[in-house]
Structure formats: structure tokens, C-alpha cells
Structure 1
């Protein structure tokens, strides 16, 4: 119970929505103690006093029936929580302004407003009422905006509220009345029997007819009531508490709420109408019953009937809620059954998954066993390979001296450095025709013969080894499609070759120095010549030779576009036992040009005669496309699958034979397979097809020459006849 004037004044804004109920519940749970008084504040925007101004505004209670109906559920809730409440109705069109003015005048210290979940904070008119209230409220008032039981925003006060206000005095007097009603009545009589205006915001108390004993019956004393005439907030027992226990005896079934309501009406009406009220006049005291108060009694009876109707409506609503609760219980049972069914399905799925896992484990175990078996087989194969390599190494050591004797016994022309300096004019830049892998190349004359002299650079790291290797290889072999080594000056690292007038195949394919394009007939022939020279190296006796650096830059062309393989400095001899049985030989490090190196040789170091076949395939693709080697095989395969390979051909040649060129490309792609086992054999598959294509090109060229000769002859005959 409040004592003194130190309690805070708390007000809650209410309306016909659930947000107001949430706001009231939050305020009672967090701001109000039992026995304290709570102000229920409502703005009526349809009243007659909506245009009044703040200085003359009259704040009243819930007097009209629809206002009482609005306040009834809130007052009932407060009564159940043992909270006193006071109704305040403000008539104004501007909701926020009206509330702010009331808070300022009544010195409200805490204001709670509800915010609905959709379409604004409160269902008053206006889209941002709560914001306007928070901004406009006086600085001594803390404003809480509540939604769904939670605080959305708080505008805290910055100073204390005025100690005195009419509303605080009225509430304090009501507290005193409830505490000592007799002394308070005497005080009022001593002061003239009137109640101060400050205590009558909306208190129009009437004397109840039930304070008198009629026909020997006694009823509770209802004379002392609060300013509001609602059952819930007054000192009288509420209608629902007085009569609902009687209603519960009529039927146990909550589905017959309406019939019970009718029974309650029939039960209550005699309570009001069956009593005879005395018409004897008494003194002028306000507690006596007289004929002049009959109108008040009738008004009281009407109010009681209206409140009874509202109570029964609330009871019917409770019945409906009970039905809904029952339906929710049924739904909950159904949901539980569904969840149990889902759990059963999940259990079955888990068992199935476990069974699947067991099967997968068995498969994995079998796969691991198979892998272990394969690993053992691979180890055995590796051991066999190591044995073969050791045997090959032994044979190589045995024949090493024989090879050296064979090479050194072969006589090649030895030139002195003075002869080479005179021929090259002391290595003049004007005679320089190129730059090799390990030194420049000069064109000059020796023994009245045009030659190309390759000079080893002193700073070449591996040049000396390649230089010696090239002398050994070229001085020991002779073939029409291998570059001819005329002599050497080994002391100064000079090699003397026959001069090839048309330079390298790479320069001619890319038409450097604006040279004319190579006809397709020559291209077919050049490919066949390169394959012939390569086969000669692979069939070398006593041991096969692998070139390891086959590319267009190492193919030289003479004045008639006859091709010869050069730059054999990286060539390697393979022991016959390895070449015939294992077909590959392990090298400590891969050598050659990146885009032409056999992928298996590059990754594993295993060298074989088919390592040159991969380089030949890439070079054949360049011969017909005149495109760089990087990614060429992949692009060519994609174009072949899409049927657009003819678009990759060198556009400088306009008369490509489509069918024969496609066959040329197919054999080139077979040679450029990534795995050695997928590449064709040079002697039995590649060279026969290239020789056929070369014959096709030579026949076409002869036909063209014959055709031109016939045309020239016919032209000369025609000229003679006209002459």
C-alpha cells in the first residue's frame, strides 16, 4: 500500500489491441508493486471534447458504456494482480499531444505504451505515435515502448518529477479512504460535506440501494467506492467472482457457455429487481435512500446489467479459448505422434546408414588388399627394371672403350683456329647468321665451299660435353637427312657444317625475314624426310641413338627445301639390350626443349626411342598449322572433335587438300599421345603413311608443272599462228 507521496506515478496507454495488454502486463511485472495505483490512460479521438486546449481540458473516467467496455478487461487483470487502477479518458484528435499534456499536468513519472508487431507502434491514429510521445514527454518522465513483452526503446528522465500534482493528491486521498473510511467521512462532513475538486477527476459516487436492509435481508455495504464505478477496481466483489461459482454448478461442459450465460442473467436479475427499496424520507445525509435518488438507482442497475453482459461475454470468450486449448492439445498429440514416426524413420535410416557403412568398410578393406597386392607386383617389376639397368650399365662400361676407339679412329677434317679466323674474318658480326643453344653460327667459305661454323661460348656450362657428343655422333654416321659435319677445331670448340641455304624449318614456317610460305607438297615431303632420318638414328648400330631435342629449330633446309636433322649434341646411345627388351633407359635428368619433351621422360627420366616420337608429333602439327608448340596438341584434339580442325591450318597456304591433311593431322596426334604405349611405331605405322602423303604431294606437283607446261606450249603456238 502506498504511503506518503514518494511513490512513482505510473501510467499505461491502452486501446483495443493486444499490444496494450502486453504493455500492461510488462508494467505490472516490472514497475508496479502490489497495492500500488496504476493509471490506465486512453485517448478518445471521437469524443465531443476533442478540440479542447490543455489549460481547460477536463480529464474524466470511463463514463460511457463503450468506454467502460474498453477498460473492463484491464481493470480485471489489475484486480487479479492486487493492483489498484484509475481510469483516465482524454478526448482529443491528436493522441500523442493529448498524452504528453496529461503526463505534464499529472506529473507522471513512468509512462508505458504498447507497440503492435505490425503497422506502427500503437494502433492510435498516426504512424509514429510512440516516437512523438517519447520526444514530447517532459524530461521528468521515463517513457517505455513495449512490444510482445519486451522493451523496444526507453527514453529516460533527466530530473525528478514535481512533488505535488492533482492526480497524486487524489490517489493519496483514495489510499487514505481505503485505509480509514469512517474518519475520512467525518473529515468531509467537517469541511462541509463536499469533496475537493482535485479529488474528483471523474468521481461521481452514488449511494447504492444495497446498503439498506430490505425485507430483513442484509447486503454488503457498497457505499464507499473508488472514483471509477467498475466492479473490478471498486471495493465491491466483482460480478464474475460473485456469480461464476454458481454457474459452474449448472454444467461441467465448457462448450455450453452461452446457456450458462443466460442462466446467470436469470439468476442475477432478481438480485437487483426483487428488492423493495424504502421510500421513506430521511435526513439530508448522502447515505440515506430517498425518492430523488431513484434515477441514480436505475442508472446503477443499468450499469450493473451492462457489466454483467460484458462479464458473460468474457466468459464465452474463455469457453472459446478452452476449446482452442483443447484443439491445441489434440494438435500437440498429433504432433507428438508425427515426431515419434519421424524418430522411427530416423532410426531406420540410421540403421540403413550403418549397414551401408559396413559394406563400404568391406569394400575399402578389399580395395586396400588389392592395392597391397598391386604394390608388391610393382616392387617386383621395379626390381626387374633395376636388374636390367644394372646389366645395361655393365654392358655400357664394357663397350665404352670400344666406342672411344671407334670415334677417335675415325678421321674428320681438323681445322686450325687461324683457318677459321680467316674464313670468318675474325668472327665478324656481318657473317653471323644465328645463335645456337651454346654459341653463335657464322656463314663463310672453307676450301671454296660454303659452310656454317658453330662456335662454342667459353661460358657455356654444358657446352663442352654437347660439343664432344656432337662430334662423336656426326663423325660416326652419314645419312642424306642428317646434317653433314665437314670438320672441327676441337681445341677452340668450333664445328664446321655444310651450309643450309634456307635456314631452319622454324624460320620458314613463321616466315621470318618475309620469306614466302612453304607449299603443302613440300611440307608433306619434309615430314617424311625427318621421319626417315629419325628412324636412321633409332636403328643405329651397334646401339640406337635418341635425339632428345627434335624441334623445327633443329631441322635445316637447303636451297631445294630438302630437310636435314641437326644439333645432335643431346643425343644419347641406348644399350641394345635395353632398347630391345625394356625399350627405355633411366636418365638422371631430363633434357630438351620444354614443349617438345616426352611427358613420361620429363616426369620419370625414363628415356626410349618413342620419346622422339612425341617430339615428331608436335613438330608435324606445327608443319601444317605454323603455330607455337605450347598447348598445340590439346587445341588440335579439341578442333578435331568439334570438326573445326581445318580452321587451324596455316592460312598462308590456300589450297590444302582437306582429306589428306586430316590424315596427316591424325597420325601427328597419335604420335603426340601422352603415354608411350599409345604412340604408333615409327617404322611400321608412321613412316609408311608419311611416304604415301609425300608421294601424293609429288604427284600433285608434277601434275601442276605439266599443266603449266602445256599451257605455255599452247600459248606459244597461238602466238606463232597469229604472227
Structure 2
């Protein structure tokens, strides 16, 4: 057992005092070794050591040493036997305190320098961030400048392309103008040739002089004017003691001369009881002489121009069949089919017996025979005809065929029984049939329509007015045979009426029968009369 453990309580301070110098000396050496070792303040700074905390701890160490010194100097530790040891101890303590003070001052300076270095590092970091931001801004500005330069290049290329396009367009326009001038010269030459050819002796029609025409029309007075055609006025006159209609070509008619030539060529070569008869012409002045048709156009009679009486249903069926007959005659013309292209009620004329005849063939075109089928068609560079009657496929593609006339025929057939304008007529008829209100859509001027036959007639007309050419029926094998059946029905009815000696009138000077159908049809008519007018009538009138 060590001796200091056996010492009494009074001797323990002395033992501690004796061992204190050695312990303090060892601590001094250890502290010196720690002080002499290299301390990486940069590393301490980089690890973010709390320098203020270290300074505070150092001050606590100094205070503890002072407390120890004070405790040594206390009165309880002044026995005479340890006076020398205490002096050495105090000297050593003062020395250590001085060294510690110097070390702490050095440490404090190092901490201050570390704080300053940290602040400088933070300033450098902030400067670096600002420089990076400036660099980024400069980079964005450079990219924007490059993008703007690229846009300017694109604009420049677009301007160059636009200039090139404008140059090409100008060249194209100049080329078109030259072509138009050449075409105009060619047409002028052709017109001259036509006039020269027409002025020569032609046995196909009679040639009239302008003096004869002026004398017949009283010098084209307004009293003799009976209408206005597509390319000029029409006058009633007398030539060779025969009433005639004289069509005069307007001087400003753009296509008039060409239509004049076409009409002369067509009508002078064909003869048909349902084609208007060309009696003669005055080619030098663009005058055409036709047979006079007492009842004017079908359009005027359907809409009762001049308060004329309505056409009975039997006569309307007859007119429809006659138009189809004349149209088939044109389509079967030799050597090539002839397409009318402007079939409408205004171009159907009626004589005193209401025999219908097709007129105004100035837009007619001879097309190759292959157009009779549904595969090959004849391409026209420009469409011609009247709006609402033009074949939609022909209007869209310029492909002309004999079924182009079938569409116009379908619209006209619907007008014959409804006396309604052509705009949207197919839609109104289809909707009326679907709703069961078809009877209300028929011409109200006729009160004894055979509804079953009229409905059959309307459905046939709708097939003719199909938008797609391939969906339209054939004129020779489908349309005309069915219309002939309806015409036969009208003839039988008229014969039966005359045989019985009955005289029934429907508000006109035509004799009309009661409906030749069952009680069911009569009941349907009664129901139609008892109900209020449908929206279909309003829609058609608005059209």
C-alpha cells in the first residue's frame, strides 16, 4: 500500500503539495507538446469550429488555475514544513500561468485570424457567386443574340423566298396575260370564221336579213319584248305570216357569240317534237328565230306569272315524261352524246296545247360516247349552268357526263309537283316524306292530287337528284319508263273523264278528276286538310 494512503488527514495536503510539482510539470510537458504540435487552422476553419466557444473555454481554464492557486495560498496550507515547497510550487504555477496566458493569447489571435479568413472566404464565395451570375447573364445574352441573329437570317431567307415567289408570280401573270391575249386573238379569229361560215349558204336553216328582223319587231320596240334570255332579250314577231320568237344577242355578252354558234349548230341539226324548233337566223347580227310558244316557260306557269291558271296533275306528269324523252334524245345523239348542262323550268317552253319543248341549248356540249357509262367522264375546264340545278360532282370536279343532266332533271321534277323554289327542295321533300306530311308539300293550287302516284313520282325525282353520280338511275331504263307509266295514268284519267262526260274543275280552266284511288288515300287527304300547315311549308317558302 502506498505511503500517502497511510498518512493522516493532516499530512495529506503536504503529500499532495509534494506531488503537485511533478504533476504540474508533466502537464506542462504535455501542454508544451500540444502547443508544439502543428495545428491546422485551415482545417479547423474548414470544419467550421466554433472559435468563440473555444475562447470561452480557455478563459474558464485560466479561472480554474487562478482558483487552484488561490486555494494553495489559503491559510489552511501554511505550515512551516511546506513553505519551501509552496514557494517552488507558486513559482512554477506563475511560470505556467504566464506560459498559458501567452498560449491563450496566441490561440486567441489565431482564432481572430481564422474568423478574418473565414469572412474573406465568404466574401470570395459571394464574389464567385456574383461572377457566376454575371457569366450566366452574359451567356444568356449571347444566346439571345445568337437566336436573334438566327431569326434575322430566317427573315432574310423568307424575304428572299418571298421576292422569288413574287417574281415567279409576276412571270406567271405575264405568261397568263400573254396566253389570254393569244386566246382572245384566237377567239376573234374563230368568231370571224364562224360568222363567215354562217354567212355562206346553209340549207339547214333560213337566213334572215337584219332589215327583216327589224321590220318584224318594229325596230325592237319594248312592246314586242316578251322576256330576257341568258344572253339577250326575246321579242315576239311575225315572219312569213307566222308568229315567231326572236332572240337577240347582246353586244356585251361575254360568252354570247360562242353560245350563239353552239345553239345554231345544235338546233339546225336536230329535229324532235319536244325540242324547240329553230326557224332561221341572222348570223351577222346574232339573231335567232324560233317557233313561238304560246304558254311561255314552264317556270312562269308553275309560279302562275300573270295570274295564269294552274297546270293539272295529269298535264304535269305528261310534261315530265316529255322532258325526259327530249333529254334522252340529246343523250343518244350521234356520233356523240349531247349534254344540255342548263336544264331548268325557265328553259322548258310550252305551246298552246301544253306540249313541252327544251330550249336554250347554247351551253350544250358534245362529249365522247364513253361518258354514257359511270366510269369515264369528260373533263371541262370551267363549269356552266344555273345554281341549284348544277350537278354537284360536275361543279366540284369539272367532270361532265350525261348523268349531270339527270341531277338537273330531278330538281325540276320536284318543282313540277310542288311549285317551290329549288333551294333546299330535296331536303324539304325528304323530311316531309319521313314525317308523313308529303301531301302538304304538293302544289296547293291542285286539290285532287293522286297522293300514291305523286309520292312514287317524288321518290323517283329524289333518286335523280342524288349527290353522287353513280347513285342516280339510268334515264333510258329507269326514269323514262316510270314517267311514261305516270303519263299513261294521266291519259287514262282524261279519257275516262271525257267518256263519262264529267266536268270537274280545280280552280282552273283544266278539267281535273277526283283522285282515282282508294278510300285510304281520300282519308289521308282529309287528315292533311284538317291539320295545320307544317313547318315544311314554312321552310320551303323561306327558301
Q: Deviations over 1:132-185 (max 9, x none)?
A: xxxxxxxxxxxxxxxxxxxxxxxxxxxxxxxxxxxxxxxxxxxxxxxxxxxxxx
Q: Please, which of 420, 425, 431 is the counterpart of residue 224 of structure 2?
A: 431
Within-5 A mapping of 1:54-65: none
Match of 2:540 in 1: none
Confirm whether residue 633 of structure 1 aligns to residue 417 of structure 2: no
Match of 1:558 in 2: 351
Classify the secondary structure of the residue corresponding to 1:659: helix
Q: Deviations over 1:209-249 (max 9, x none)?
A: xxxxxxxxxxxxxxxxxxxxxxxxxxxxxxxxxxxxxxxxx
Cα distance, 1:643–1:573 mapped onto 2, change above 3 Å:
same
Higher helix share: 2
Classify the secondary structure of the residue corresponding to 2:466: coil
Classify the secondary structure of the residue corresponding to 1:561: coil
Q: Deviations over 1:472-514 (max 9, x none)?
A: 0000100000000000000000000000000000000000000
Confirm whether residue 512 of structure 1 aligns to residue 300 of structure 2: no
Match of 2:321 in 1: 528
Cα distance, 1:597–1:559 mapped onto 2, change above 3 Å:
same
Match of 2:466 in 1: 673
Q: Please, which of 209, 213, 229 is the counterpart of residue 420 of structure 1?
A: 213
Give the whole-Å Cα distance in 2 for the aligned partners of 1:645 and 1:463. 42
TM-score by length of 1: 0.42
Classify the secondary structure of the residue corresponding to 1:451: strand
Which consecutive residues of structure 2, in runs of 5 or more, have no partner in the other structure? 1-193, 505-543
Match of 2:255 in 1: 462
Question: CA contact under 8 A between 2:342 and 2:363: conserved in structure 1?
Answer: yes
Question: CA contact under 8 A between 1:624 and 1:650: conserved in structure 2?
Answer: yes
Cα distance, 1:583–1:573 mapped onto 2, change above 3 Å:
same
Q: Please, which of 589, 592, 598 is the counterpart of residue 385 of structure 2?
A: 592
Question: CA contact under 8 A between 2:371 and 2:402: conserved in structure 1?
Answer: no
Query: Cα distance, 1:641 vs. partner?
Result: 1.3
Give the whole-Å Cα distance in 2 for the aligned partners of 1:600 and 1:680. 15
Query: Cα distance, 1:409 vs. partner?
Result: 5.8
Q: Please, which of 611, 614, 617 is the counterpart of residue 407 of structure 2?
A: 614
Question: CA contact under 8 A between 1:583 and 1:609: conserved in structure 2?
Answer: no
Give the whole-Å Cα distance in 2 for the aligned partners of 1:547 and 1:710. 39
Give the whole-Å Cα distance in 1 for the aligned partners of 2:377 and 2:404. 9
Classify the secondary structure of the residue corresponding to 2:247: strand
Give the whole-Å Cα distance in 2 for the aligned partners of 1:598 and 1:572. 15
Q: Deviations over 1:303-339 (max 9, x none)?
A: xxxxxxxxxxxxxxxxxxxxxxxxxxxxxxxxxxxxx
Match of 1:447 in 2: 240
Question: CA contact under 8 A between 2:274 and 2:356: conserved in structure 1?
Answer: yes
Give the whole-Å Cα distance in 2 for the aligned partners of 1:592 and 1:583. 21
Query: Cα distance, 1:446 vs. partner?
Result: 0.3
Give the whole-Å Cα distance in 2 for the aligned partners of 1:411 and 1:553. 27
Q: Deviations over 1:67-123 (max 9, x none)?
A: xxxxxxxxxxxxxxxxxxxxxxxxxxxxxxxxxxxxxxxxxxxxxxxxxxxxxxxxx
Within-5 A mapping of 1:306-385: none
Q: Please, which of 707, 711, 717 is the counterpart of residue 500 of structure 2?
A: 707
Within-5 A mapping of 1:107-506: 411-506=204-299
How many residues are matched?
Answer: 308
Give the whole-Å Cα distance in 2 for the aligned partners of 1:662 and 1:546. 28
Classify the secondary structure of the residue corresponding to 2:422: coil
TM-score by length of 2: 0.55
Give the whole-Å Cα distance in 2 for the aligned partners of 1:658 and 1:689. 16
Give the whole-Å Cα distance in 1 for the aligned partners of 2:371 and 2:503. 57
Give the whole-Å Cα distance in 1 for the aligned partners of 2:419 and 2:449. 13
Confirm whether residue 697 of structure 1 aligns to residue 523 of structure 2: no
Match of 1:541 in 2: 334
Classify the secondary structure of the residue corresponding to 1:692: helix
Give the whole-Å Cα distance in 1 for the aligned partners of 2:231 and 2:394. 23
Cα distance, 1:449–1:643 mapped onto 2, change above 3 Å:
same
Q: Deviations over 1:48-70 (max 9, x none)?
A: xxxxxxxxxxxxxxxxxxxxxxx
Question: CA contact under 8 A between 2:411 and 2:465: conserved in structure 1?
Answer: yes
Question: CA contact under 8 A between 1:423 and 1:445: conserved in structure 2?
Answer: yes
Classify the secondary structure of the residue corresponding to 1:512: coil
Match of 2:48 in 1: none
Query: Cα distance, 1:518 vs. partner?
Result: 0.2
Question: CA contact under 8 A between 1:439 and 1:454: conserved in structure 2?
Answer: yes
Query: Cα distance, 1:691 vs. partner?
Result: 0.2
CA RMSD of aligned residues (A): 1.9
Cα distance, 1:578–1:631 mapped onto 2, change above 3 Å:
closer
Classify the secondary structure of the residue corresponding to 2:235: strand
Q: Deviations over 1:424-444 (max 9, x none)?
A: 000011010000011000001
Give the whole-Å Cα distance in 2 for the aligned partners of 1:448 and 1:583. 49
Cα distance, 1:541–1:478 mapped onto 2, change above 3 Å:
same
Give the whole-Å Cα distance in 2 for the aligned partners of 1:598 and 1:490. 32
Confirm whether residue 684 of structure 1 aligns to residue 494 of structure 2: no
Structure 1 segments of 4+ aligned residues over 6 angstroms from their partners: none
Cα distance, 1:632–1:577 mapped onto 2, change above 3 Å:
closer
Match of 1:569 in 2: 362
Query: Cα distance, 1:583 vs. partner?
Result: 4.1
Classify the secondary structure of the residue corresponding to 1:660: helix
Classify the secondary structure of the residue corresponding to 2:296: coil
Query: Cα distance, 1:643 vs. partner?
Result: 1.3
Query: Cα distance, 1:579 vs. partner?
Result: 3.9
Classify the secondary structure of the residue corresponding to 2:306: helix
Give the whole-Å Cα distance in 1 for the aligned partners of 2:346 and 2:261. 21
Q: Deviations over 1:499-537 (max 9, x none)?
A: 000000000000000000000000000000000000000
Give the whole-Å Cα distance in 1 for the aligned partners of 2:203 and 2:273. 19
Give the whole-Å Cα distance in 1 for the aligned partners of 2:427 and 2:300. 24
Give the whole-Å Cα distance in 2 for the aligned partners of 1:700 and 1:515. 23
Question: CA contact under 8 A between 1:584 and 1:607: conserved in structure 2?
Answer: yes
Query: Cα distance, 1:582 vs. partner?
Result: 3.7
Question: CA contact under 8 A between 1:509 and 1:517: conserved in structure 2?
Answer: yes
Query: Cα distance, 1:644 vs. partner?
Result: 1.1
Give the whole-Å Cα distance in 1 for the aligned partners of 2:379 and 2:201. 27
Query: Cα distance, 1:708 vs. partner?
Result: 2.1
Give the whole-Å Cα distance in 2 for the aligned partners of 1:577 and 1:516. 44
Q: Deviations over 1:692-715 (max 9, x none)?
A: 00000111111112222699xxxx
Give the whole-Å Cα distance in 1 for the aligned partners of 2:373 and 2:393. 19
Classify the secondary structure of the residue corresponding to 1:521: helix
Q: Deviations over 1:561-597 (max 9, x none)?
A: 0000000000000022444574421100110001000
Give the whole-Å Cα distance in 1 for the aligned partners of 2:391 and 2:385. 9
